[in-house]
Amino acid sequence: MSDNENEPVSLSRRSFFRASFRASAGGAALIAGQGALAKAPDQAKPLDARAPVPITLRVNQRTYEMKVDVRTSLLDTLREHLQLTGTKKGCDHGQCGACTVMINGQTVASCLTLAVTAQGQTIRTIEGLAPNDTELHPLQAAFIMHDAFQCGYCTSGQIMAGLQCIESGLATSPESIREAMSGNLCRCAAYPNIVAAIADAASMMED
């Protein structure tokens, strides 16, 4: 191999080797960089999606602070974290209405509502209806008067849905009440008594 830089072929060969070396060095650095990038996620502390996050809920005019897994439903939060077990878990799939609560005056299936999304909202549950420890809400009293339950498992959801039916002005006829209550199932089939209780409470609450 000639070192004469005036020799076109040698020049070309030397340039080629220099360029190859630079390219190789650059490539090695690039590969090393990619390796570092590839390693970065492994070296970073992994996020734990199950790590509890702090949340604040306003339920029945009380403020509660707690930490929950972000995937926790409002239903489980009420029952397991706040011990508000009046709200029942039936299907846990949004199909039975047993878990009905109100958020900002609208009924929701608390089993389908994430607790973290209920922050900053006004939540009302069955425990928040009675005015005090010795009196019942008129709708609760009407359910007892009309024998509107048997096992009682669906009852808190029925009462919350019935309350919205009344407050929305839909308790104007048995047909209208049945339509408004169609998302709340009762395996004991207490439907006629439930409708009667809601109609009665609606007229009591008007007075």
Q: How far is the CB of 100 from ligand FES (least distance, A)?
A: 7
Choose which of 55, 84, 90, 118 interacts with ligand FES (CB under 6 A).
90
Q: Does 177 bind ligand FES (CB under 6 A)?
A: no
93 HSE (CA, 13 A, CB side): 2
The CA angle 60-79-97, to the nearest 5 degrees, is 80
| Smaller CB separation from ligand FES, 56 or 117 | 117
Of 184, 205, 11, nearest to 99 by C-alpha is 184
Q: Which of 72, 77, 82, 97 binds ligand FES (CB under 6 A)?
A: 97
**CA–CA gap between residue 175 and residue 156 (Å, rounded):** 21
| Shortest Å distance, C-beta 182 to ligand FES | 13
Q: Which of residues 179-198 bind ligand FES (CB under 6 A)?
A: 186-188, 190
**Among the listed residues 57, 109, 165, 180, the single contact to ligand FES using CB under 6 A:** 109
Residue holding tokens 């209208």? 176
Stretch that binds ligand FES, among 115-123, 138-146, 150-158, 167-175 (CB under 6 A): 150-158
Q: Which stretch binds ligand FES (CB under 6 A): 4-12, 20-28, 86-94, 113-121?
A: 86-94
Q: How far is the CB of 85 from ligand FES (least distance, A)?
A: 13
Q: Is 12 or 95 the residue whose CB approaches ligand FES more closely?
A: 95
Q: Which residues bind ligand FES (CB under 6 A)?
A: 89-92, 94-99, 109, 111, 149-155, 186-188, 190
